[in-house]
Amino acid sequence: MKVQAGSKPLSEKRRKQQPEKRAVLCPVYKKCGGCQLLHMDYKKQLNWKREQLAALLKPYGKLEGIIGMEMPEHYRHKVHAVFGRDGKGKVISGVYKEGTHMIVPVENCLLENEKADAIIQTVKELLKSFKIKTYDEDTGYGLLRHVLVRAGYSTGQIMVVLVLGSPILPSKNNFVKALRKVHPEITTVVVNVNDKRTSMVLGEKEQVIYGPGYIEDQLCGMTFKISPKSFYQVNPVQTEVLYKKAIAFAGLSGKEVVLDAYCGTGTIGMLASPQAGSVIGVELNKDAVRDAIAGAKRNKLPNIHFYQADAGDFMERMADGGEKVDVVFMDPPRTGSSEKFLAALVKLKPRKVVYISCNPETLARDLKYLNGKGYRMKTGVGVDMFPFTKHVETVCLLSRKAQ
């Protein structure tokens, strides 16, 4: 089992505890439900994930193993807290109990970046003096719904997003000042307005109240722009491992036409572009596409272009237009890819497909489809992006059977 260097261990004592005791050390372990594997020691967690994955992928190919973290705590660089009140009217922030809208108060979490957690606590403390009320989901009254913090891994830049039920944050400049007095490392603060009765965290409208409205981060030597609504992997240490594997699997020679589907802020395509002839990225979220275009410029990559579209529609148009693609990277959301996408992929006939997945079940489903259409899984590896949780990330290389 390979291990990967990670961020500083913050609670050596907690690491050394017996797993059963560790579970007890998290006061909300049972109520929160986020750390399904906290009761297992880390090696056991990795074995459990490897076995699950190997069993699911067995009909299609062999797994190289799973790459774990050397220091698996506090890896989440994106932290979300929901705000509300407890039965006694006290302001609380934390997570929804799984499958409910009950708030479980969380002050610090084994998974989350500690600075982000501290910022959320400071926001909570400031609410009283600024007379800001938390939003009540049942009545629709109140203002603050959620706080989202994104911490750049290598840049140290920090973005705070205050999600409000209505557009006006009273004394916003003083609020920012008070928050930055405690946390001068905050580089931008954005107000996001979510006035809908929805379980979506972020609404459409945004107002930047401090700094540029985005942060930058560096991975594998390139710089990426991250806006509040753009997808960006939450575990930067393991993301580097994952991206390096994905690009190594593609075995690019410098000439290929590469497609990065479900590209988010364009990270994989950009990292592949110096080793490819040209790269096309496609992504549905317009903010992510805007970040991707800015990133390509920032990293001076002339051979990459991004398009905002449904990946299935885009692939279909390419296939119908008789376009040529040599290598496809695909990194769909948990629901996996669509049949439209997969059918168009088969029609496009790339030599290689590098499938990155955050859900082994939909991965297995899509591999089954592709296997039936002449794509064989050559190799695959798990990368533990989400220690202490049941989630498993995988990267697989598929290649087209010679005809």
Size of the site for ligand SAH (CB under 6 A): 17
Binding of residue 333 to ligand SAH (CB under 6 A): yes
Binding of residue 273 to ligand SAH (CB under 6 A): no
Return the residue of 262, 355, 375, 386 that touches ligand SAH, per CB under 6 A: 262
Binding of residue 311 to ligand SAH (CB under 6 A): yes
Q: Which is nearer to ligand SAH, 22 or 229 (CB)?
A: 229
Which residue, 363, 372, 323, is CA-closest to 343? 372
| H-state helical runs in 7-80 | 12-16, 19-25, 29-32, 42-57
Non-local CB neighbours of 225 within 8 Å, separated by 6+ positions:
214, 215, 216, 265, 291, 294, 295, 298
Question: 3: helix, coil or strand?
Answer: strand
Question: 314: helix, coil or strand?
Answer: helix
Return the residue of 122, 192, 227, 285 that touches ligand SAH, per CB under 6 A: 285
Q: Which is nearer to ligand SAH, 175 or 243 (CB)?
A: 243
Return the residue of 264, 336, 380, 382 that touches ligand SAH, per CB under 6 A: 264
Q: What angle do CA 242, 9, 236 make, to 5 degrees?
A: 25
Binding of residue 283 to ligand SAH (CB under 6 A): yes
Q: Are 56 and 364 in contact (CB under 8 A)?
A: yes
Per the structure block, which two tokens stand in for 32?
A: 């929160």
d(CA 21, CA 3): 24
Work out the number of other CB atoms within 10 angstroms of the CB of residue 222. Answer: 19
Residue 295 exposure: Cα atoms within 13 Å on the Cβ side: 35
Q: Which is nearer to ligand SAH, 110 or 311 (CB)?
A: 311
Per the structure block, which two tokens stand in for 341?
A: 């996408």
Binding of residue 331 to ligand SAH (CB under 6 A): yes
Q: Which is nearer to ligand SAH, 113 or 230 (CB)?
A: 230
Return the residue of 267, 273, 357, 389 that touches ligand SAH, per CB under 6 A: 267
Return the residue of 263, 344, 346, 364 that touches ligand SAH, per CB under 6 A: 263
Q: Which residue is nearest to ligand SAH (CB)?
A: 264
Q: Which is nearer to ligand SAH, 143 or 292 (CB)?
A: 292
Binding of residue 233 to ligand SAH (CB under 6 A): yes
d(CA 23, CA 99): 21
d(CA 240, CA 223): 13
Per the structure block, which two tokens stand in for 330?
A: 């695909």
**DSSP at 142:** S
Binding of residue 288 to ligand SAH (CB under 6 A): yes
Q: Which is nearer to ligand SAH, 189 or 294 (CB)?
A: 294
Residue 358 designated active-site:
yes
Return the residue of 231, 249, 306, 388 that touches ligand SAH, per CB under 6 A: 231
Binding of residue 362 to ligand SAH (CB under 6 A): no
Phi, psi of 320 (to 5 degrees): -65, -35
Residues lying near ligand SAH in the complex (CB under 6 A): 231-233, 262-264, 267-268, 282-285, 288, 310-311, 331, 333
Active site residues: 358
